[in-house]
Structure 1
Amino acid sequence: MGKAGSIWVAWVRRKYLSRSTFWALNVNSQSISWSFRKILKLRPTAARFLRIKVGNGDDTFFWWDPWTPFGPLLDFLGKDAPAKLGIPLSSLVKDVMLNGGWNLPPARSEAFLQVLCYIISIEPSQIWNAIRASKPPVPWAPIIWHKKQQL
């Protein structure tokens, strides 16, 4: 959902998206307004037209957002994939990276092998450099950090 300043967007964010991603909301929930349920029913159609720019991965849900050509990975790999692969359902893309590389389990199915082949083709160092705090060295650093500990 956009970050527009409308009252409706603010209401939707607070009421429905404060505890869940747009893609995970239950379209049959009676706690969701009739009009918003109609919007939720259009998710599969809308997803075909979305192109997500992952950036540093802190705004992109690993399982829910259609950030790969396979669409939402939860749909492509199955509802049991988070448990099988040990990647929590609420994970962001940045959560499956470690020290500038991908931190993914080995493929356990043909479908996950396809996903892995795609993901490892993405240059993670670009994402890592975007999410890590990078600052110029301070003059007092040698007093605190031993040379062998500096990165």
Structure 2
Amino acid sequence: MLSVIANVVWGWKNILKLRDRVRKHVMWKLGNGKSVDAWYDQWNQYGPLCDYVTSRDLYDARLHSTYKVSDLIREGKWCWPIEWEDKFPIFKQLKIPNLNDNVEDRCIWRAGNGIEQNFEVRQVWNDLRCNGENVNWSSVIWFAQCIPKHVFVMWLAV
């Protein structure tokens, strides 16, 4: 039982190491704004607002770190302190999104080439893996009818 727990912990630790690499690829398309974290999610072209606003700023403004984008808009206006536009110049440039209560927020993947698309494991793998050079002997070892155990030993030997 202990080895299973250790393996799970090891796996999660390694997944968490990828956070910074993955973060720049995950974007949100706003629908109703009720699922997207206002401070920590990437929902605008400038990046997460937590890159600009500290938890102390939120506390002083009586805003919560758990706010969603929809919580920051009241009657078509931002509901943060007006002085934030001087303190954080990027806030002057932030356009108020048009939220639609009938449309859910969507998480999308920004591929390495900058194209935004639906999340696909294949694309995530291609964007995150380290691409080495193709070697001329790879087709000798890796082919459709290969026996994985034999291929692995051969690959180590070469």
Please, what TM-score do these two structures have when normalized by structure 1? 0.52
2:106 corresponds to 1:131: no
Aligned residues: CA RMSD: 2.5
Distance 2:17 2:87 in 1: 26
Aligned to 1:69: 45
Which structure 1 residue ranges, 5 or more long, are not aligned?
1-31, 133-151
Which structure has more strand as a fraction of its residues? 2
Selected match of 2:92 from 96, 104, 117: 117
The C-alpha deviation readout for 1:31-54, integer Å capped at 9, x for no partner, is x83322322222221121222112
Q: State the Cα distance separating 1:92 from its structure 2 match.
A: 0.4
Selected match of 1:78 from 46, 51, 54: 54
Aligned-residue sequence identity (percent) comes to: 26
Report if aligned partners of 2:28, 2:42 keep a CA contact under 8 Å in 1. yes
**CA distance 1:113–1:92, shift in 2 (3 Å):** same
Report if aligned partners of 1:77, 1:111 keep a CA contact under 8 Å in 2. no
Poorly superposed stretches of 4+, deviation over 6 Å: none
Paired letter, 1:46: V
**CA distance 1:90–1:61, shift in 2 (3 Å):** same
Q: Report how many residues are paired.
A: 95
Task: Between the two structures, name the one with larger relative contact order (CA 8 Å, sep ≥ 6).
Answer: 2
Secondary structure of the equivalent of 2:59?
A: helix
Distance 1:59 1:40 in 2: 22
Paired letter, 1:118: Q
Report if aligned partners of 1:64, 1:72 keep a CA contact under 8 Å in 2. yes
Paired letter, 1:55: G
Report if aligned partners of 2:27, 2:41 keep a CA contact under 8 Å in 1. no
Please, what TM-score do these two structures have when normalized by structure 2? 0.50
Paired letter, 2:33: G
Report if aligned partners of 1:58, 1:94 keep a CA contact under 8 Å in 2. yes
2:20 corresponds to 1:40: no
Distance 1:58 1:107 in 2: 25
Report if aligned partners of 2:61, 2:81 keep a CA contact under 8 Å in 1. yes
